Amino acid sequence: MHVFKFGGASIKSAKEVKNATAIISVHKDRPLMIVVSAMGKTTNALEQLTEYFFQGKKDSSIILFNEIKRYHIEIAMELCDDKNCELVTSLEQKFSLLENVLNDTPGNNYDFEYDRIVSFGEELSAMIIGYYLNESSIPNRWFNAKDIIITDARYRDANVYWDKTFEAVENLLLPFFNSHTKEALHPIAITQGFIGGTITGYVTTLGREGSDYTAAVLAYVLNAYEVCIWKDVPGLLNADPKIAEQTNLLPNISYQEAIELAYYGAKVIHPKTLKPLLNKNIPLRVKSFYDPDEEGTLINDNKKLDKLTPSYIFKSNQVMLSISPKDFSFIAEKNLSIIFSEFAKHNIRINMMQNSAISFSVCFDFDKIKTPSLINDLERIFRVESLYDKELLTIRHYRNANLHPFIKNRKVILEQKTCDTLQLLVKKQE
């Protein structure tokens, strides 16, 4: 059993869907679990749609809804060779359901509504890919992720209930895979990445870019031989090619190193993905869907090459808060525990922190909703100074690193070093 995950870019148009189908067709000599993301930038569009819905911006919401619909229907028509096909009818029905949601009055729980709307992206892509595989004589069956990845009700960032997920997979997926063992064709199942469902059947999402994690969860539960993430890059690179002029492919790194890179914000793999794979020693390959014959990057238990290449991770849109007590107390355990519990309450992950006797500096990703609400709560107890729009550069194995291209025209405002990792919070020079 192999688990294949196709990200948004790898299925962003009819041409890419055909390419993904060709890749699957080459690998249909083994049971396959296919996990798909929403097509192209659909999740961003659906996030925007959720905001319009919440703000009651009806006109903007209709325009955007129609754009998302047109995008999917056009891909479907191209895959159906423009003839009237049942895929278009099914997509239209799905869009009517989304329209019904948008015609409702939003409840108070933004994250709940977000999951209801944003989850449509993956469902639409699973429908399109499932259909086209069938058309290409690759029979497959769709399993709704909501029924197999069982989570808590922490909408927008749900946690997997492993026992329940095992049970669901045993009841739904395994009979499908087992029923095929005597047949010539190997079974192919398809499901949405990033999506889960509560015990009571409400849809949840696992956090942005969470489809990789879905692939890992399913690989773990199904005891897969290997997971392959198909991407628009040749594999794991030591820097984001959108930012760095020069990048190197990392041919093989350990799970631990990949976990560190993802933790510091390397965008290639969702941070939660590696742990389930590490626990069962399931290798993860990151491969290019443009060059499927290339080896890409292999992530496994081999640590030998980890320190050879410096990796650069760049995060923009950082907020830095300097928090100090209003009274004469120091930043000691009691104040720190209050500060950390506020971060936990608002579900904000800290990217870097430093403390002195009277002030605690902390940096994290800006979020339109969570950041003001955190600051508001902190200000009840502390004096809070905030700086916006900063950038965080993390370098793993920095000894032979070339920092210049990353920090030229920038001023370092906070620096931290361990033996393996250097972090710099910087701001652009005016």
Q: Is 233 exposed, middle or buried (0-12, 13-18, 19+ CB in 10 A)?
A: buried
Rounded (5°) CA angle 76-78-81: 110
Query: How many whole angstroms separate alpha carbon 238 and alpha carbon 381?
Result: 42
Count of positions on this chain that bind ligand ASP (CB under 6 A) = 12
Given candidates 31, 130, 187, 193, which one binds ligand ASP under the rule CB under 6 A? 193
SS3 state at 389 = strand
* Cβ distance to ligand ASP smaller for residue 129 or 422: 129
Smallest distance, ligand ASP to C-beta of residue 119, A: 9
Q: 149 or 395, CB closer to ligand ASP?
A: 149
**In whole angstroms, what is the distance from residue 126 CA to residue 140 CA?**
11
Scored b (16 or more CB within 10 A) or e, 147-161 reads bbbbbeeebbbbebb
Q: Report how far apart the first and last C-alpha atoms of the chain are (Å, whole number).
A: 54
Minimum separation from the CB atom of position 130 to ligand ASP (A):
17
Site of tokens 């703000």 = 55
Q: Of residues 19, 21, 43, 335, which one binds ligand ASP by CB under 6 A?
A: 43
Sheet of 297-300: strands edge to edge? 141-142, 188-192, 32-36, 2-6, 226-231, 284-288, 297-300, 252-254
210 binds ligand ASP (CB under 6 A): yes
- Under the criterion CB under 6 A, does residue 194 sit at the interface with ligand ASP? yes
Residue 100 CA to residue 117 CA, distance in Å, equals 11
209 forms part of the interface with ligand ASP (CB under 6 A):
yes
The residue written with tokens 């361990």 in the block is: 418
What's the farthest any 2 CA atoms get from each other in the chain?
A: 76
Q: Which stretch binds ligand ASP (CB under 6 A): 24-32, 205-213, 317-325, 348-356?
A: 205-213
Which listed residue (37, 140, 273, 351) binds ligand ASP by CB under 6 A? 37
Does the footprint of ligand ASP cover residue 8 (CB under 6 A)?
yes
Q: Is 16 in the site for ligand ASP (CB under 6 A)?
A: no
Cβ 25 to ligand ASP shortest distance, Å = 23
Binding segment (CB under 6 A) for ligand ASP, from list 35-43, 128-136, 311-319, 334-342: 35-43
Q: Which one of 71-79, 85-93, 202-210, 249-257 is the stretch in contact with ligand ASP (CB under 6 A)? A: 202-210
Residues in touch with ligand ASP (CB under 6 A): 7-8, 37-38, 43, 121, 193-194, 208-211
